[in-house]
């Protein structure tokens, strides 16, 4: 086992509370673990509804097998306290630094999940310097490749003017693509856009429709919007 591989093993063992046994730790793999893909589906709602507990468990299992993409996702969730994981920036950076070159190589070869994760790396300073412009370009590549979270993040970039000029119509364009695939947070964003008339003409009926879809997928913010005494604002 190389020193680098051992560092990865020790980092993961601490992150997912699993022991490292002997020298059985394998080098990181670059194909997405099916459990990782299932975790993402439950996290986003693409599986039909949001289930952070199930997503959390699946990602922990996938990361324990030390695939580079699973480890980078583990860094991502610890970076901001996503998916029921504790926010721990130091751990997130350590995990990312252990696999970033492998992830970058996979992204350069066109592996879609790796492309998305490079956007995260530049967005959140995980294994790379924070660079909103470069992050948005990675998100664009992921979005154009059909990655729902890439579409979500690209929409956010246009809404916030992060790495690009603010363009509400393009924000809605990319949010719609992710929302139509079942991404619950993006369904919420689309409902908010229709409610406010931001990037689209105001349309209360469509706002309610997207809030309802998000709520049915388990998004509590959307459920709260629907439960307002006066309905959609």
Nearest to 219 by CA among 189, 180, 185: 185
Asked whether the beta carbons of 151 and 178 are under 8 A apart, the reply is yes
**pLDDT tens digits, 86-130:** 999 999 999 999 999 999 999 999 999 999 999 999 999 999 999
How many CA atoms, within 13 angstroms, populate the side-chain half-sphere of residue 88? Answer: 17
pLDDT at position 98 = 96
In eight-state DSSP terms, residue 147 is -
pLDDT at position 29 = 57
Residue position matching structure tokens 């599986």: 47
Q: Does residue 50 have a pLDDT over 90?
A: yes
**How sure is the predictor about 19, in pLDDT bands with cuts at 50, 70 and 90?**
very low
Helix (H) or strand (E) holding 146: none
Q: Does residue 3 have a pLDDT over 80?
A: no
pLDDT at position 81 = 97
For the CA atoms of 206, 207, 210, 212, the dihedral, rounded to the nearest 10 degrees, stands at: -110
d(CA 21, CA 23): 6
Mean pLDDT of 200-218: 96
For the CA atoms of 149, 146, 124, 4, the dihedral, rounded to the nearest 10 degrees, stands at: 110
Burial of 206 (0-12, 13-18, 19+ CB in 10 A): middle
The residue that leads in pLDDT, 78 or 12, is: 78
Length, in residues, of the chain: 233
**How sure is the predictor about 9, in pLDDT bands with cuts at 50, 70 and 90?**
low
Q: Three-class SS string for 94-107?
A: HHHHHHHHHHHHHH
Mean pLDDT of 40-55: 96
pLDDT at position 232 = 62
Would you say the C-alpha torsion 46, 51, 52, 54 has a positive or negative sign? negative
Q: What phi and psi values does residue 159 have, to the nearest 5 degrees?
A: -70, -35
d(CA 58, CA 38): 7
**pLDDT tens digits, 160-188:** 999 999 999 999 999 999 999 999 999 99
pLDDT at position 23 = 41
Mean pLDDT of 125-149: 98
Global confidence as pTM: 0.86
């Amino acid at each position: 086992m190389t020193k680098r591989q051992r560092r990865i093993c020790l980092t993961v063992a601490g992150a997912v509370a699993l022991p490292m046994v002997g020298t059985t730790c394998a080098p990181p793999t670059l194909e997405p673990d099916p459990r990782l893909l299932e975790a993402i589906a439950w996290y986003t709602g693409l599986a039909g509804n949001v289930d952070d507990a199930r997503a959390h468990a699946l990602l922990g299992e996938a990361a324990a097998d030390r695939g580079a993409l699973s480890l980078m996702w583990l860094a991502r969730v610890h970076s901001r306290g996503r998916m029921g994981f504790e926010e721990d920036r130091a751990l997130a950076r350590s995990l990312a630094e252990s696999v970033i070159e492998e992830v970058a190589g996979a992204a350069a070869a066109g592996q879609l999940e790796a492309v998305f994760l490079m956007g995260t790396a530049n967005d959140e300073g995980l294994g790379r310097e924070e660079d909103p412009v470069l992050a948005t370009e990675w998100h664009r590549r992921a979005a154009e490749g059909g990655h729902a979270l890439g579409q979500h993040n690209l929409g956010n970039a246009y809404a916030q003017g992060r790495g690009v000029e603010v363009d509400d119509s393009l924000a809605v364009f990319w949010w719609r693509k992710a929302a139509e695939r079942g991404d619950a947070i993006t369904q919420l964003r689309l409902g908010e856009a229709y409610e406010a008339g931001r990037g689209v003409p105001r349309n209360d009926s469509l706002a309610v429709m997207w809030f309802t879809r998000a709520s049915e997928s388990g998004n509590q913010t959307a459920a709260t919007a629907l439960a307002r005494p006066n309905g959609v604002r």
